Amino acid sequence: MKELLLIAIGSALVNNVVLSQFLGICPFLGVSKNVKTAAGMGGAVVFVITIASFVASVIYKFILVPTGFEYLQTIVFILVIAALVQFVEMFLKKAMPPLYNALGVYLPLITTNCAVLGVALTNVQKSYGILESVVNGIAVAVGFLVAIVLMAGIREKTEHNDIPKAFQGTPIVLVTAGLMAIAFFGFSGLI
């Protein structure tokens, strides 16, 4: 249990996928304009990363390793992720059309979100079992959700502030992301 807690805290806060590993930057910067949309994207990523971690771990352990096809892991993981994203896209289109429209092009981009693939590959690289893979996947996804919602909240607040012309738009977003990364670096003393 202690090991799982360390994996969770380490993945969510200390080694935050966006702010310390710089994976998943595209949706992080693109969808973080308002909190509601950011939370929706974060929720979709939580679902995809959690299920992808489980399915990829099961496929790796019970199919790829016994057959000696470990070298196909990246291709197999990409196919699993693409299928999951299609499922999420169809669900959101039917169940939550406003969120589906708000996410726009960024929803299919979850397929190419390197954070999702990075989690699956990290689970294999660290020799995590199925339970550890799922815990790591959930923690990474929650870390992504926290980071994107915090960024959206900050961007909503700075939208109405007097920002120098040279820093308006993308520059202030990048400075904010850098400051958030420095703040998350403070969690490194937890483990």
CA 50 – CA 120 distance, rounded (Å): 10
pLDDT of 111 > 80? The answer is no
Which pLDDT band, with edges at 50, 70 and 90, does 126 fall under? very high
Spatial separation of the C-alpha atoms in residues 45 and 109, rounded to whole Å: 11
| Residue showing tokens 């993981």 | 77
For 20-40, how does the pLDDT look when each residue is reduced to its tens digit (9 = 90+)? Answer: 988 988 889 888 999 998 998
- pLDDT-derived band of residue 107, with 50, 70 and 90 as boundaries? confident
Per-residue pLDDT tens over the stretch 37-72: 899 889 888 988 999 999 999 999 999 999 999 999
Residue 181 has a pLDDT of 93
* C-alpha–C-alpha distance, residues 55 and 184, integer Å: 30
**Quick one: which of 88, 104, 114 has its CA closest to 33?**
104
pLDDT band at 5 (very low <50, low <70, confident <90, very high): very high
Q: Is the pLDDT of residue 109 over 80?
A: no
